Chains A and B, each alone.
Chain A
Amino acid sequence: MTTTETAPLPGVAEQERAAVTVRGLVKRYGGRAVLDGLDLDVARGECFALLGPNGAGKTTTIEILEGVRRRDAGEIRVLGEDPATGGRRWRDRIGVVSQGEAAGQALTVRETLDHFASYHAAPVPTGELLAAVGLQESAGTRVVRLSGGQRRRLAVALGVQGRPELVFLDEPTTGMDPVARRQFWELVRGLRAGGTTVLLTTHYLDEAAELADRVGVVAGGRLVDVAPPDEVGAALRRHSTVSWIEDGARREVRTDAPAAVLRDLLAGPQAEIPGLTVTRPGLEDVYLQLVGATPSEIEGELR
């Protein structure tokens, strides 16, 4: 393992436009580097998805950016401040949609929101929040009786209650059913439309493709690629696979020039070429190659 030179943080003007700037982030647990020189830039107003298998360091990254976990090395600015020393004013500008409980489960939804309003400088009125996340009907229900999906909505309401400029979502839809997931995505799109910067982690490719302006793929403690969802792994995507059936067996050719391969094929003696397809790798194929895992390994991890 070589020591990496940590690039300096960008200038002040650039930092103003950036919501998050990370250079050379290192975090070790018991000598093992979970993050090993991670760089990251998230622009204001952007929705950025950190994508990677479990254990890749996504959650650790988010927790360091939230200022609740210490780092071992690296330079970080979140909304212009170092999270390790960010005070209450800074914390009031970021929002976190966390997996944990809010306050006691014996409180109603409205009581919970009313209580946490008193921690913020300019909280969104409870009625408005309830409407925004679609919990008006459950305002008087105790948290213990909420469904999983409703709890996530409450978590979102708490995350945005202080009118944050930047919202962190750590694997927000894990364990949700497809309907709840789609509703949740709508909430995130609403935030994004309102000008809030969103940084989310996920191991669902469709979620990243659906929500993010840009995707960062984390593997081996580093960001191995950053691009809009349909451009991730641009180099890998150039390869097409031309496939057809010849003498009863499937043949495949991987190529950067599928047209040339097709021309050769079509110039051949057969009138028809059975089973002919030309495919380009999708986000999933590219992702699996980027994180250096075969499909079977990944499925094992996702389960």
Chain B
Amino acid sequence: MTAVLMSHRSAPPSAARIARARLGIELRLFFREKQQVVFSFAYPVVMMVIFGSVLGGDERPGHIPFPQYFLAGIAATGIMLTSFQALGTSIAGERESGQLERLQLLGTPPAAYFAGKAGQVLVTTAAQLALLLPVARYGFDVPMPADLRHWLTFVWVAALGALAGTVLGIAVSALPGSATSVATGVSAFAIVLQFFSGVFFAANETPGWMQHIAALLPLKWLNQGMRSAFLPDRAGAVEVAGSWEHGRTALVLAAWVIIGTVICVRAFRWRRGEA
């Protein structure tokens, strides 16, 4: 039986076919891992409910009700968690447990693996936002984007932010150290970054040095882009720059996509310590 098959073997399945299989398995695994579901998927909804309930009556600069301001920030955070944090932790774990080595032994095209991850991020992020927005709308009376133009802003900001988070998550998974230490580092970084990037406090409430650091990193811009979709246009005037800065937002996020991609190409390894 084997002898016959040896002589005329057909080519292995295409990268696209493997990518589809990867996406299926990634999604199945994501929703079976309780830690992933709780810490990256459910987190924004839980935070929305907590902060919306506690600070529901407060106002942010520009007479914006707190829940309306917070929805933009927590949506941006959610995108960061389902992309950056989820991938950084899961890939480091897959490398440590030998799953990536198996993929390498099978000759898996890296592009198929990344496509599976990116697809997973897309689906989980969309599902997360589809859960978060109704909770904000019906639980805390937060208005949705005013018109098609604002919805389009929401879509491009979310997509670009998720893309940056995806490549940076893959990049950060290559950090040295055990999978647990990578996971701890990534989660701690994600938490601190939320405070720097205006998720809980408005940017003009934070000290200058914090604003400068935040302005170099993607979350602030993702957050600001989200505010431009959810908040009334007049609120742009109370931003640090006095406007929504769409051009700069696109530029910074795109720059991080490129930086992350370069790191992935250079640093991605199937196994620890060897090419």
Contact = CB atoms under 8 A, between A and B. Distances in A.
A71 B35 CA distance: 40
A32 to B, nearest CB: 15
A165 B2 CA distance: 8
Contact of A92 (B9, B102, B104): B9
B32 A121 contact: no
A303 interface: no
Nearest to B32: A106
Contact of B106 (A99, A100, A107, A116): A116
Given A119-B106, A121-B9, A100 B97 contact: yes
Interface in A97-116: 98-104, 106-107, 111, 115-116
B12 A100 contact: no
Contact of A107 (B6, B21, B25, B97): B25
Given A89-B11, A96-B105, A119-B13, A104 B2 contact: no
Given A101-B99, A118-B17, A195-B3, A69 B274 contact: yes
B104 A68 contact: yes
B102 A102 contact: yes
Majority SS at the chain A contact face: loop
B21 A98 contact: no
A66 interface: yes
A249 to B, nearest CB: 56
Interface in B2-30: 2-3, 5-6, 9-13, 17-18, 21, 24-25, 28-29
A107 B29 contact: yes
A102 B104 CA distance: 12
Interface of B: 1-3, 5-6, 9-13, 17-18, 21, 24-25, 28-29, 32-33, 97-99, 101-102, 104-109, 270-271, 274-275
5 contacts: A87-B107, A96-B102, A104-B33, A104-B99, A118-B17
